[in-house]
Amino acid sequence: MIDKSSPLPIYYQIEEQLKRQIENGELKPNDSLPSEREFAERFEISRMTVRQAINNLVNDGYLYRQKGRGTFVSEKKLEQQLVGLTSFTEDMKARGMVPSSKLLSFEIIAASEKIAEQLHISLHAPVYEIKRIRLADDVPMALESVYVSANLVKGLTESIVNDSLYRYIEEELGLKIGEANQTLESILASETEVKHLRISSYSPVLLIQRNTYLQDGTPLEVVKSSYRADRYKFTINMTRS
């Protein structure tokens, strides 16, 4: 079902067709795909074109490759319930995955007007800026920038943020995390996100912005996270009053 007269590139048509088959269950997780050669013969196109389509689907998380065995359909997206106020480490452990982080930057900076206002601290007060890639079973899931007041979250180190920020805040500092406001929107991945999340250019990502407060109302953190839209699905339960 390839339309060679269409203005849509052939690799793109193959990608869309395979995505549809994955979404409607015709292709199931861990099903193996025909080889590049078989694909090329079936559609009468070059192997290069097939490879491009498959590469894009591998990058987008729809397919995965196994050396010497072939290409397979990936597991479904991670479904994340938007209910409790949890950390990335807790979320991944709860689903039996191994969380890890790749620290991109860890610095004390002077609070900008916007950050100072949100953290209720003075302009230029010291703030930790922590940029991390969050991974689950070694797959990059989100790119996250966290801002916390250095006078509130004292003694942060690189090894702490390579582990769990919430664990340190609660267990080591004894601070009580209370609630958070969060927004979720779809945006086009920036170049940085494309690079670190290993997604293709022009992919959408889910931008989540969170403002977290301690139980006494003190602002704790300002967070901006970009989640891979190809690996994540957020669900909400609603009750009609």
Binding site residues, ligand 16G, CB under 6 A: 87-89, 144, 146, 164-167, 208, 210, 212, 221, 223, 225
- Rounded Cα–Cα distance for residues 207 and 160 (Å): 24
Query: At its nearest, how many Å lie between ligand 16G and the CB of residue 168?
Result: 8
Q: Tokens 């890639």 appear where?
A: 133
> What is the token pair recorded at 79?
């479904």
Considering beta carbons, is residue 1 or 83 the nearer one to ligand 16G? 83
Considering beta carbons, is residue 76 or 167 the nearer one to ligand 16G? 167
Query: At its nearest, how many Å lie between ligand 16G and the CB of residue 94?
Result: 12
Region for 226 from its dihedrals, namely left if φ exceeds 0, alpha if ψ lies in -120 to 50, beta otherwise: beta
Angle between helices 10-23 and 36-43 (to 10 degrees): 110
Q: What is the DSSP string of 93-131?
A: HHTT--EEEEEEEEEEEEPPHHHHHHHT--TT-EEEEEE
Considering beta carbons, is residue 17 or 182 the nearer one to ligand 16G? 182
Query: At its nearest, how many Å lie between ligand 16G and the CB of residue 148?
Result: 8
Query: At its nearest, how many Å lie between ligand 16G and the CB of residue 153?
Result: 11
H or E element that contains 160: helix 158-162
Using CA of residue 166, residue 169, residue 172, residue 175, what is the dihedral sign?
A: negative
Contact 229, 189 (CB under 8 A): no
Query: At its nearest, how many Å lie between ligand 16G and the CB of residue 220?
Result: 9
H or E element that contains 21: helix 10-23
- Rounded Cα–Cα distance for residues 225 and 235 (Å): 17
Considering beta carbons, is residue 68 or 84 the nearer one to ligand 16G? 84
Query: At its nearest, how many Å lie between ligand 16G and the CB of residue 230?
Result: 17
Query: At its nearest, how many Å lie between ligand 16G and the CB of residue 32?
Result: 34
Considering beta carbons, is residue 64 or 232 the nearer one to ligand 16G? 232
Identify the bridge partners of residue 78 per DSSP, sorted by sequence position: 232
Q: What is the DSSP string of 54-76?
A: HHHHHHTTSEEEETTTEEEEPPP
Considering beta carbons, is residue 42 or 167 the nearer one to ligand 16G? 167
Considering beta carbons, is residue 39 or 166 the nearer one to ligand 16G? 166
